[in-house]
Structure 1
Amino acid sequence: MNRAFSSLVKSVLVATLAVSGLASAAEHAAAAAPAKADAAKGATLYDSGDAARGIPACASCHGANGNSTIAANPKLAGQPEAYIYKQLVDFTTPNRVNPVMSTYAKALSEDEKKNLAAYLSAQTQKPGAAKNKDIVELGKKIYRGGIAANGVAACASCHGANGHGIPALFPRLAGQHQDYTVAQLQSFKASNSSTPPSGARKNSVQMQTLAKRMTEDEMKAVADYIAGLK
């Protein structure tokens, strides 16, 4: 009888420890899992900022729902979530320095960066339009076929035929402001200088290489074509 009782006690103890171990493992896994981005919190931060920390509303520069109406500021609506997050991180490094964005990006927590990215990626971009019929055909040729003589690959090979990009890898270009696109190409090109100026973009070796092979007229042409993509 004692042996039977002892055996029962041991069985209960083993079962209890097993359940406890499973619970502990589950708790550990839950604690280790990254927090899911909260688009609702991202929307609040985007629209209102955080005055206590000196962070203005993103909408003041990038427009309602990420649809900037200022040609120098990019439209962010519909950009891939991972790409937006990466750029916010890059603004905190020497690879992408911007007097305004670097300051604010450094003030954001990792969760806030992810929340903003989740919110903006879910927004619908308002279409843009090509403006210069005299150069748009050249832009179309470059976008679709590149500039073989100078080793410039077709933009479409990475950003897609319609300029919608590839999530986590390449940004959406369709509908983007001409001025902003040209400015970024020039910033990538400037990074190739032996003494790159402040603001030069060094966060894409591929774009740095391609931009240095393009003239300003070619940049303007492809930017105008891109603006009209939908």
Structure 2
Amino acid sequence: MKKLAIFALILLGASVSAQAGDEAKGAQLAAQCAACHGKDGNSTTPMWPKLAGQNAEYIVKQLMDFKVGAADKTKGRYEASMAPMAANLSEQDMQDLAAYYMAQETQMGAVKAEFLELGKKIYFQGDAERGVPACAACHGATGQGLNLAKYPSVSGQHPQYAIKQLKMFAAGERNNDEAAVMRDIAIRMSEQQIEAVANFMLGLH
């Protein structure tokens, strides 16, 4: 019973954190992000991720990691384009931005027929022979992820961006995933599987 009570308090704290942002203030801050991520978080350039509909806790974590990386490239998550943007953000700024983007609607895309079969298989079933688990186990049947666990939404994400991130995880060039979960998965995937599942997620909802 005591463990259940502690777990409930943890969840309650996480819920409060996820709702701590001010959407209106986030909208004002997002103006400086629009050039790359779009006015409402739906970037039109495939190399920049869509943030619309993204889980708030995940956004906050990434911004915090970018801020750490801006101060020390060997820590957190370093991206040359994001370092100056995140460096001066306060934690409240991050919460506000996250609240704004999570409230926006993701613009979906259509899955190309050539990627549908394999992409669907990897996403929902994984590949037991390669030791690749189903993506749906963490990111959900509709790709919405899990906010409290900081698992990102992958629904409607640009395939080009998703492919780049999976390859970076596989190469160890991105290492801000908890317990190396994504690095361990991505390194087991073939390039064909990465391309297929990334394209499949574009239309997943």
TM-score (norm 2): 0.84
Matches within 5 A, 1:135-214: 135-169=115-149, 170-191=151-172, 200-204=173-177, 205-214=180-189
The share of aligned pairs that are identical, in percent, is 47
Q: How far apart in 2 are the matches of 1:181 and 1:43?
A: 25
User: Residues 95 and 201 of structure 1 are in contact (CA less than 8 Å); yes or no, is this contact kept in structure 2?
Assistant: no
What is the deviation of 1:92? 2.1
For 1:201, the aligned partner's letter is: R
What is the deviation of 1:103? 2.2
What is the deviation of 1:217? 1.3
Alpha-carbon distance change, 176 to 36 in structure 1, aligned in 2, over 3 angstroms: closer
- Equivalent position of 1:63 in the other structure: 38
User: 1:120-153, CA deviations, whole angstroms, 9 ceiling, x for partnerless residues?
Assistant: 111111112213x223210110000001001110
User: 1:147-197, CA deviations, whole angstroms, 9 ceiling, x for partnerless residues?
Assistant: 100111000011001111111321111111000000110111111xxxxxx
Q: How far apart in 1 are the matches of 2:60 and 2:36?
A: 18
User: Residues 96 and 203 of structure 1 are in contact (CA less than 8 Å); yes or no, is this contact kept in structure 2?
Assistant: yes
- Cα-Cα RMSD: 1.6
Matches within 5 A, 1:79-90: 79-90=54-65
Unmatched tracts of structure 1, length 5 or more: 1-32, 48-56, 192-199
- 1:188 aligned counterpart, secondary structure: helix
Runs of 4+ in 1 over 3 A off after TM superposition: 33-36
Bigger radius of gyration among the two: 1
User: Is residue 77 of structure 1 aligned with residue 47 of structure 2?
Assistant: no
User: Residues 126 and 175 of structure 1 are in contact (CA less than 8 Å); yes or no, is this contact kept in structure 2?
Assistant: yes
Query: How many correspondences in the alignment?
Result: 180
- Equivalent position of 2:192 in the other structure: 217
For 2:144, the aligned partner's letter is: H
TM-score (norm 1): 0.75
